[in-house]
Chains A and B, each alone.
Chain A
């Protein structure tokens, strides 16, 4: 008996965002189907795999992670180049030194670093603040100006500081990461507020804040899924590509850091930590995430293979 392939038809799609300049520009989003259902709609752009660069030597990274960046970790420019060498589609610069508890780098100095990195690499950039909302507002304003014309993604704009970040990105032509704590309604509210300021919808990337596998990923999974379904059903305020800070979350997990001596039943740390990052990213890709900010080049390599396979057409 013949089986009819059930195909859903959606009336809308995820917004397509362009970052970077000219030859190096990449497009993100634009999906008109649920993730990897090529038989129902289009997934015109591939997943964006980024590697993270700190503007100061990060603390508490396990050895198998620092080993990948040996010799470049105190120089963000060199580190960023290394990331490109490892095949990153984008470099995510995290301006951690601006944190008042770290060296409290001034917005001007942070912007200089960002500019130096951007000038040294050919791939587009994501620039993320230190996480202190008031400070990030100032830092990202300066960064937006310094990177004028480079068409980057800046973040993270939260309920507290989105006005100044959005304003600066509007003026200097960047996209913004709008971050909200694991709630579809709050995510939507941020988007409404930002577009009402005049920022075009195709300049917003959503970060619903995910946890790693075993640390609350199921919440993020269902939120992302709802956002994607919303987007496909025509909700313009949910139709933005989703970014997932995978590395940041997975490398916090004990499973990524603890040695085999501490937990013999967990097996080897080097293998386990990569898997934690890869599995988290794969899971979130199934939920609809488009940009993955990773830390380990090995994870990137494995995910590249996985996603290439997933992007092969499964149309009947």
Chain B
């Protein structure tokens, strides 16, 4: 098999690849993250690169314009080398910095630091010296001392720890520092050090999101977060959504390894940055708690995800046990444990359990709706008496996917927008105040609300035929509304929302609302019964409740009922990391939740169709909107 050198510009990075490897994979290997929304199928057209030198074969060019073809553009995922190549990766094709939601204001009670009882801790003990009348063996002596100090009964110790124990115990006259790691069901004596001077020790709270990854470095003694970092999940190269990633993992050669390596690489990069910036050794990071959706956890642990997406949608595991960091591939202390918060079903995972626990949904009398307005659209409804969860698969529209001018909340994204009713002009603000290059989720919601109010579209999202305005014109996908013309945009292109885009967004918002209604229907409860609505997720933080209600995305409840919680997933992970009780409660919470399979029966479909309307087919559900 032939091998070629590919050098990427302007990064000047080189890789040596076989003729089978396409340029999207080659770029990933070189550490350049190229957009690959469709997972390398050649259907999204986002991985455009320019071949500067060399011979190549390219299978598909359908997504490229004539000018681009003439300029040497190809789709990276469709192109393989026939000689050494020089390839330029334009800015537009790169995954750029993303607004990663780190810490946010908390809802209700903040994570209590007073009763820190972390899953890993060090304790000081002094062992009674052995004598002729007390000739107990060293390990039993140690265990007894630990038991006396902590009350922990079920203690285990590995051979590795036992091997040098006699010397360690005697070195500082029976004063030792014992490291205890909680491993579901027993406590491991992870290490024993002589004397009572010990190094600080840390843990990680990790949120493995489909799109972004957030890591908190936590001082396990004080319970304080020392630092946090977030970045892209590098799996994005193999698809934007979990389904295309499962497909890649199960149908491509080495697909599973690709995805596992991508997420590990993302994590290990963040961990090593956190460690070096805070001057700590990775070996003092002794425990990690991860929260992620079911697919993310499968891919992270290298578990076959194939049947998650196949009827009847069964994951391999919902409640994973703690696993050694070394085995997982996480670059922290080798003997550290990695624990993933339990999930509920294929599409409601540990990230949701984690969030549900943070808000204490199982401890309140108030009927609470906890909702992650994202691609998977997971939601939990209930209170201390009953809990129900579902995933409405809202699709990536609100995160910019499938919308021509859509983008994530990155620099230059229009995040707020107002349509002026009489002139149909637009007032907007962008992330970072930059020149606009697209519209992110919050802006898209504002835009539909504004377009409907101004009469540009009717309740089904169809353009009004009797409006003439320079901003309304016929585009490639039928009628469209120009939000920003190319003279004023940051990328020299018109930013316009077409009827196809709007219908896409209506489907997304319809799915979310239908999910809520279906859960209520199962319990035979009216929508007014909901006393609190808590919105999680990166995108959720930016939406305007008023506009979300006016398009029928969220229930027409008083604004006071709404709260944002931000990245509740990482908060829950931290809570579990710092408390055994919280860990046990998380397991209970996950087992207590009833998963509602929306593809069974007519309820969801019925609710979905009635929600494909602005705001809804049943206007009585939106009393505040009827003038």
**Stretch from B120-128, B565-573, B606-614 forming part of the interface with A:** B606-614
Is B465 on the interface with A (CB-CB < 8 A)? Answer: yes
Pick from A159, A163, A189, A196: contact of B617, CB under 8 Å: A189
In the assembled complex, the CB of B625 is this many whole angstroms from the nearest CB of chain A, namely: 13
In the assembled complex, the CB of B483 is this many whole angstroms from the nearest CB of chain A, namely: 25
Is A186 on the interface with B (CB-CB < 8 A)? Answer: yes
| A183→B611 CA distance, assembly (Å) | 13
Within 8 A of B (CB), among A185-219: 185-186, 188-189, 192-193, 196
| A91→B295 CA distance, assembly (Å) | 61
Q: Is the CB of B617 within 8 A of A192?
A: yes
Is B43 on the interface with A (CB-CB < 8 A)? Answer: no
Q: Is the CB of B610 within 8 A of A193?
A: no
Q: Is the CB of B459 within 8 A of A183?
A: no
Residues of A within 8 A of B617 (CB): 185, 188-189, 192, 237
In the assembled complex, the CB of A198 is this many whole angstroms from the nearest CB of chain B, namely: 13
Binary contact track B440-481/A, C-beta < 8 Å → 1, others 0: 000000000000000000111010010000000000000000
In the assembled complex, the CB of B621 is this many whole angstroms from the nearest CB of chain A, namely: 12
In the assembled complex, the CB of A69 is this many whole angstroms from the nearest CB of chain B, namely: 40
Pick from B459, B465, B619: contact of A193, CB under 8 Å: B459
Q: Is the CB of A192 within 8 A of B609?
A: no
Q: In the complex, which of the residues A159, A189, A193, A196 has the most CB atoms of chain B within 10 Å of its own CB atom? A: A189
Q: In the complex, which of the residues B459, B462, B613, B617 has the most CB atoms of chain A within 10 Å of its own CB atom? A: B617
A159 — nearest CB in chain B belongs to which residue? B460
In the assembled complex, the CB of A137 is this many whole angstroms from the nearest CB of chain B, namely: 10
In the assembled complex, the CB of B423 is this many whole angstroms from the nearest CB of chain A, namely: 23
Residues of B within 8 A of A192 (CB): 459, 613, 617, 619
Q: Is the CB of B609 within 8 A of A183?
A: yes
| A184→B613 CA distance, assembly (Å) | 13
Binary contact track A84-125/B, C-beta < 8 Å → 1, others 0: 000000000000000000000000000000000000000000
Within 8 A of B (CB), among A235-252: 237
B620 — nearest CB in chain A belongs to which residue? A235
Residues of A within 8 A of B465 (CB): 163
| A64→B333 CA distance, assembly (Å) | 88
In the assembled complex, the CB of A294 is this many whole angstroms from the nearest CB of chain B, namely: 31
Binary contact track B597-627/A, C-beta < 8 Å → 1, others 0: 0000000001001101100011100000000
Pick from A184, A186, A189: contact of B459, CB under 8 Å: A189
In the assembled complex, the CB of A162 is this many whole angstroms from the nearest CB of chain B, namely: 10
B613 — nearest CB in chain A belongs to which residue? A189
Residues of B within 8 A of A237 (CB): 617
Within 8 A of B (CB), among A137-170: 159, 163
Q: In the complex, which of the residues A163, A185, A192 has the most CB atoms of chain B within 10 Å of its own CB atom? A: A185
Within 8 A of A (CB), among B361-384: none
Q: Is the CB of A185 within 8 A of B606?
A: yes
Residues of B within 8 A of A193 (CB): 458-460
Q: Is the CB of A185 within 8 A of B609?
A: yes
A186 — nearest CB in chain B belongs to which residue? B609
| A193→B462 CA distance, assembly (Å) | 11
| A192→B613 CA distance, assembly (Å) | 10
Q: Is the CB of A185 within 8 A of B459?
A: no
| A196→B626 CA distance, assembly (Å) | 13
Q: Is the CB of A188 within 8 A of B460?
A: no
Residues of A within 8 A of B458 (CB): 193, 196
A222 — nearest CB in chain B belongs to which residue? B602
| A82→B462 CA distance, assembly (Å) | 43
Residues of B within 8 A of A186 (CB): 609
In the assembled complex, the CB of A199 is this many whole angstroms from the nearest CB of chain B, namely: 14
Q: Is the CB of A188 within 8 A of B459?
A: no
B611 — nearest CB in chain A belongs to which residue? A185
| A183→B617 CA distance, assembly (Å) | 12
A187 — nearest CB in chain B belongs to which residue? B617
Residues of B within 8 A of A188 (CB): 610, 617-618
Residues of A within 8 A of B618 (CB): 188
Q: Is the CB of B606 within 8 A of A189?
A: no
| A159→B459 CA distance, assembly (Å) | 12
Residues of B within 8 A of A185 (CB): 606, 609-610, 612-613, 617
| A188→B618 CA distance, assembly (Å) | 9
Within 8 A of B (CB), among A169-188: 183-186, 188
Residues of B within 8 A of A183 (CB): 609
In the assembled complex, the CB of B283 is this many whole angstroms from the nearest CB of chain A, namely: 60
In the assembled complex, the CB of B466 is this many whole angstroms from the nearest CB of chain A, namely: 8
| A193→B613 CA distance, assembly (Å) | 10
| A184→B458 CA distance, assembly (Å) | 19
A164 — nearest CB in chain B belongs to which residue? B465
B462 — nearest CB in chain A belongs to which residue? A159
In the assembled complex, the CB of B614 is this many whole angstroms from the nearest CB of chain A, namely: 10
In the assembled complex, the CB of B141 is this many whole angstroms from the nearest CB of chain A, namely: 73
In the assembled complex, the CB of B619 is this many whole angstroms from the nearest CB of chain A, namely: 8
| A189→B609 CA distance, assembly (Å) | 10
In the assembled complex, the CB of B518 is this many whole angstroms from the nearest CB of chain A, namely: 14
Residues of A within 8 A of B613 (CB): 185, 189, 192
Binary contact track B513-551/A, C-beta < 8 Å → 1, others 0: 000000000000000000000000000000000000000
| A192→B616 CA distance, assembly (Å) | 11
| A288→B458 CA distance, assembly (Å) | 30
| A163→B613 CA distance, assembly (Å) | 17
| A163→B606 CA distance, assembly (Å) | 25
Residues of A within 8 A of B610 (CB): 185, 188
Residues of B within 8 A of A159 (CB): 460, 462
Binary contact track A262-284/B, C-beta < 8 Å → 1, others 0: 00000000000000000000000
In the assembled complex, the CB of A186 is this many whole angstroms from the nearest CB of chain B, namely: 6
B460 — nearest CB in chain A belongs to which residue? A189
Residues of A within 8 A of B609 (CB): 183, 185-186
| A184→B609 CA distance, assembly (Å) | 9
Residues of A within 8 A of B460 (CB): 159, 189, 193
Residues of B within 8 A of A163 (CB): 465
| A192→B460 CA distance, assembly (Å) | 10
| A186→B617 CA distance, assembly (Å) | 8
| A311→B76 CA distance, assembly (Å) | 72
| A186→B459 CA distance, assembly (Å) | 12
In the assembled complex, the CB of A181 is this many whole angstroms from the nearest CB of chain B, namely: 10
A160 — nearest CB in chain B belongs to which residue? B462
In the assembled complex, the CB of B402 is this many whole angstroms from the nearest CB of chain A, namely: 22
| A301→B287 CA distance, assembly (Å) | 84
B607 — nearest CB in chain A belongs to which residue? A185
| A192→B615 CA distance, assembly (Å) | 12
In the assembled complex, the CB of A211 is this many whole angstroms from the nearest CB of chain B, namely: 18
| A189→B619 CA distance, assembly (Å) | 10
User: 7 new A-B pairs (CB below 8 Å) besides A188-B610, A188-B617?
Assistant: A183-B609, A185-B606, A186-B609, A189-B617, A192-B459, A192-B613, A193-B460
Give 5 pairs: A residue, B residue, CB < 8 Å, sorted on A: A185-B609, A185-B612, A185-B613, A189-B459, A193-B460
Q: Residues of B with Cβ closer than 8 Å to A?
A: 458-460, 462, 465, 606, 609-610, 612-613, 617-619
Top 8 A-B pairs, shortest CB-CB distance: A185-B610, A185-B609, A185-B617, A188-B617, A189-B613, A189-B617, A183-B609, A193-B458
Q: Residues of A with Cβ closer than 8 Å to B?
A: 159, 163, 183-186, 188-189, 192-193, 196, 237
